[in-house]
Chains A and B, each alone.
Chain A
């Protein structure tokens, strides 16, 4: 017996015409088959096509904010973020045109001008996603002016510290704390260039009554903004295996 297909809102969909669930699309000229609920990013990666990302992390909700994963889709008036765009039948995607790679490099440059990213003195030197991205995208120098406002460092927590000068506001820490740990210790305060990640109601992390001390935020942070105490330059390695594992276990548990 075939299972009846439901619209996400519960209403049965007709399957007598156009029963698209698996579809064919083209990414960088390559014919690819995909499921209708997959994003361009995940389909591309399954097929060995790499698209640079920063705010995306497997296992967390998508945010679509860093804009590094933009791609060209034939017929679309704008560039689309591949991490939040679903594939469609007959879609033609270009992930590495000169236009998008140039934009990606400039976005990365903007990130480097925004706060202090001097790698040589960073705990994450050599283990940092921002650093890796600049190598990957061939961003060798920055031709915009540096902004570098002076940000604080919060080392009040007994095991972790946060250096806002290294934060790229990807919100991975916020999402992992909210969605996986369930504590929602962190959030963003302020707007625009003054936006900042805070713990509780902008209290010192060490005073937080909601923080469970699980350390997930530290391990999902792409840069040296969040680190374990006692780590010196280049010593902070991040371990993220727990994320897909936890997600898988939860899915199994729901069955």
Chain B
């Protein structure tokens, strides 16, 4: 079966007609965060109550993707009133239904968090909180799969790649490699067989951007991959998801099945010669399997360890064939770019970092959750406006970006715009988008130790500097935090960091010293206090020495 553009519009129309006459729509977040605090039960109870009261003709209860403010879930969003409710329980259901059309239930109102919602600009997350992640029709009603149609029927592959290049989109998986450049390389590679891989391994501690996108809007990623396949000449795609994301896996599989049933995946998509198939592959949760060459080895069924590059996957990837590998968020940006044009995207953001970026706000900040802001938004706005500042009026100390590969940015850089270059300048990286806020009670040595422990245990053990170096650095940090540090430890740390950074085989080792180097750069006094005065200025470590000493 092949789908035509008319079919697509017909599906959208039927879906829109269904909403005809609906006066109130109650969107219940059914992404992992809210589901874990029983939003599924709340949704069922709302549905039951609506039916019992006979309101179903003009009140609709709908499960939607992540609304962002995960800390105070379960979250509800009422249309057309534009009201957000937080912490909704089953016992609140009848009160909510009573209030429809009247004044909102003030007890549940989330309006104190309003800047959180207002300051964001959503492209990747535009459908999150809006469409039902389990319904392809709902996605199509919001204009879904039109970009794929345009890419296949109205554009040549080179025009698609040009558009992506014009947009200035850079890879959201961490390194920020220009996406257009990567696509061109793969499209030029010799070979009839090529692959597209979506990297959904997301192993950084505290990061859940990709997870939310997959759980809230899986079709967007599928559409992005299909467009990529058409542009570079690939007919097979793989999505590599970690098995720890069961909901994302289930929704992806469901979405792929729906897409195959409608014919937006499969043979002769939209009556063209383009065939495209997507398979899901599960990762066992090793951080290093997010590294592209290790990921490819893992899909091939081998031990997930990186190999030296070049050759890059664009030339020699999955089973030796040219392979395009991009992050979930990168693919999620593709449909809107094709729909609105590369120029539209290039208007957003800064000179060298275009578009928006999704961040997972975590740590000592009032509004933890998922946000999307234009590139170049000052850190201060993210922490204090969107994040709502530090709880209990404590003092801001630093923000950690980029997870175990990133650095800690101190207060003096709060007005810095968040983009690839600025972050690199202060010794951190954009990474995949984790933002951890720390206040005066966080010990920076302890933070560095936490990330180094992560890198040490996630190192694949292949190359010597990373395997042994990260262990050595971790041991030094341990002894500093437990009060047995020596003054020679700081120069030794610096020496080891430099070695591991410059001689390791893959990105894991090369970036693992960043948390240590950046805290040594901005918070050296804390290291010295631990070593010389045997005290932890933040009061987080037990420097008594005897207790924790090994």
The reply to whether B461 and A110 contact each other, CB–CB distance below 8 Å, is no
**B470 beta carbon closer than 8 Å to chain A:** yes
Interface string of A1-36 (1 = CB under 8 A from B): 000000101110000000000000000000000000
A85 to B472, CA, bound (A): 29
Determine if A45 is an interface residue (Cβ-Cβ < 8 Å). Answer: no
- Since A147-B472, A169-B467, A195-B461 are in contact, a sample of 15 more A-B pairs with Cβ atoms closer than 8 Å, ordered by chain A residue number, is A63-B462, A64-B308, A67-B503, A67-B504, A67-B505, A78-B502, A79-B502, A103-B499, A110-B465, A147-B468, A191-B461, A192-B470, A192-B471, A193-B456, A193-B467
On whether A193 and B468 interact (CB within 8 A), knowing A64-B308, A106-B495, the answer reads: yes
A-B CB contact pairs (8 Å), 9 listed: A9-B191, A65-B463, A81-B505, A84-B308, A169-B461, A190-B461, A192-B456, A194-B461, A195-B460
Is B457 in the interface zone, CB < 8 Å from A? yes
Chain B residues near A79: list those with CB within 8 A.
Answer: 502-503
Q: Cβ of B286 and Cβ of A191 under 8 Å apart?
A: yes
CB-CB contacts below 8 Å: A61-119 with B: 63-68, 70, 78-79, 81, 84, 103, 106-107, 110-111, 113-114
B87 CB → nearest A CB, Å: 40
Q: Is A187 an interface residue (CB 8 A)?
A: yes
Q: Judging by beta carbons under 8 Å apart, are A192 and B458 in contact?
A: yes
Q: Are B495 and A192 in touch, CB under 8 angstroms?
A: no
Cβ-based interface call for A188 (8 A): yes
Is the CB–CB distance between A191 and B503 below 8 Å?
A: no
Residue from the set B456, B495, B505 with the largest chain A CB neighbour count within 10 Å: B505
Residues of A within 8 A of B495 (CB): 106
Given known A84-B308, A111-B468, A145-B472, contact A65–B462 (CB-CB < 8 A): yes
CA distance A53 to B448 in the complex (A): 33
Q: Which of A84, A188, A192 has the most CB of B within 10 A?
A: A192
Residue among A11, A64, A110 making CB contact with B190, cutoff 8 Å: A11
Q: Does B353 contact A (CB under 8 A)?
A: no
Known pairs A9-B191, A144-B492, A192-B459; A66 contacts B464 (CB<8 A): yes
Tell me if B254 counts as interface (CB < 8 A to partner A).
Answer: no
Distance from A28 Cβ to chain B, minimum over Cβ atoms (Å): 20
B475: CB under 8 A from chain A? yes
Determine whether B313 belongs to the interface, using a CB cutoff of 8 Å to chain A.
Answer: no
Q: Out of B303, B456, B505, name the residue touching A65 (CB < 8 Å).
A: B505
A192 with B457: CB separation less than 8 A: yes
- Which residues from 500 to 526 on chain B have a C-beta closer than 8 Å to any C-beta of chain A? 502-505
CB proximity of B450 to chain A, nearest CB, Å: 16
Which residues of A146-192 have CB atoms within 8 Å of chain B's CB atoms? 147, 168-169, 187-188, 190-192
Residues of A within 8 A of B60 (CB): none
A contacts with B, residue count (CB < 8 A) = 36
Closest 4 CB pairs of A and B: A195-B461, A64-B308, A192-B459, A110-B468
Nearest chain A residue, comparing its CB with the CB of B488: A143
Q: How large is the interface on B (under 10, 10 to 19, 20 to 34, 35 or more residues)?
A: 20 to 34
Whether the Cβ atoms of A147 and B308 lie closer than 8 Å is no
* Interface majority SS (helix, strand, loop, mixed), chain B: helix
Task: A190 to B461: give the CA distance in the assembly, Å.
Answer: 8
Inter-subunit contact B499/A193 (CB<8 Å): no
Taking a contact as CB atoms under 8 Å apart, the answer to whether B460 and A192 are in contact is yes
- Are the CB atoms of B505 and A64 closer together than 8 Å? yes
Interfacial residues of chain B within 467-511, with CB under 8 A of chain A in the complex: 467-472, 475-476, 492, 495-496, 499, 502-505
A47 and B3 alpha carbons, distance in the complex (Å): 64
- The CA of A169 and the CA of B305, in the complex, are separated in Å by 14
- B323 CB to closest chain A CB, in angstroms? 13
**Which chain A residues lie closer than 8 Å to B469 at the CB level?**
110
Chain B residue numbers with a CB within 8 Å of A10 are 190
Determine the distance from Cα of A193 to Cα of B303 in the docked complex, in whole angstroms: 16
- How far, in whole Å, are A191 and B467 apart by their CA atoms in the complex? 9
**Inter-chain contact A191/B472, CB cutoff 8 Å:** no
- Once the chains bind, are A113 and B468 in contact (CB under 8 Å)? yes
| Contact among B303, B308, B458, B476 with A188 in the assembled complex (CB-CB below 8 Å) | B303
B34-53 CB contact bits vs A (8 Å, 1 = yes)?
Answer: 00000000000000000000
> Which A residue sits closest to B500, measured CB to CB?
A110
In contact, A110 and B464 (Cβ under 8 angstroms): yes
Q: Which residues of the partner chain B approach A78 to less than 8 Å between Cβ atoms?
A: 502
Given that A65-B505, A107-B464 are known contacts, is A193 also in contact with B471, CB under 8 Å in the complex? Answer: yes
CB nearest to B459 among chain A residues: A192
Q: A188 and B461: CB pair below 8 A?
A: yes
Known A65-B462, A191-B457, A193-B459; contact A103-B505, beta-carbon cutoff 8 A: no
Please state if A191 and B458 are interface contacts (CB–CB under 8 Å).
Answer: yes
Chain B residues with CB under 8 A of A65: 462-464, 505
Do the beta carbons of A145 and B475 come within 8 Å of each other? yes
Contact A144 B458 (CB under 8 A): no
Q: Is B307 an interface residue (CB 8 A)?
A: yes
B496 partner residues in chain A, CB cutoff 8 A: 144
Among residues of A, the one whose C-beta sits closest to the C-beta of B288 is A191
Q: Would you call B468 and A114 a contact (CB within 8 A)?
A: yes
Name the interface residues of B424-481: CB closer than 8 Å to any CB of A.
Answer: 456-465, 467-472, 475-476
Give 1 or 0 for each of B402-419: 1 = CB within 8 Å of chain A CB: 000000000000000000
Greatest chain A CB density within 10 A among B286, B462, B502, B504 is at B462
Q: List the A side residues contacting B504 at CB < 8 Å.
A: 67
Contact A193 B464, beta carbon cutoff 8 Å? no
Cα of A143 to Cα of B488 in the assembled complex, Å: 10
Q: How far is the CB of B472 from chain A (nearest CB, A)?
A: 5
User: Taking the nearest CB of chain A, how far is it from the CB of B190, in angstroms?
Assistant: 4
Chain A residue contacts of B457, Cβ below 8 A: 191-192
Find the A residue at minimum CB distance from B456. Answer: A192
Our pick among A67, A145, A147 for the contact of B465 (Cβ within 8 Å) is: A67
In the complex, what residues of A have CB within 8 A of residue B191's CB?
9
Most A-side CB within 10 Å, residue of B190, B471, B504? B471
Q: Which residues of B contact A144 (CB under 8 A)?
A: 472, 492, 496
The answer to whether A103 touches B467 (Cβ under 8 A) is no
CA–CA, A98 to B496, complex, Å?
17
A144 to B468, CA, bound (A): 11
A78 to B456, CA, bound (A): 22
Residues in B neighbouring A7, C-beta threshold 8 A? 190
Chain A positions within 8 Å of B505 at CB level? 64-65, 67, 81
Q: Shortest beta-carbon distance, B349 to chain A, in Å?
A: 25
**Nearest CB of A to B465, in Å:** 6
Residues of A within 8 A of B308 (CB): 64, 81, 84
Q: How far is the CA of A67 from the CA of B501 in the complex (A)?
A: 12
Closest to A100 in B: B503
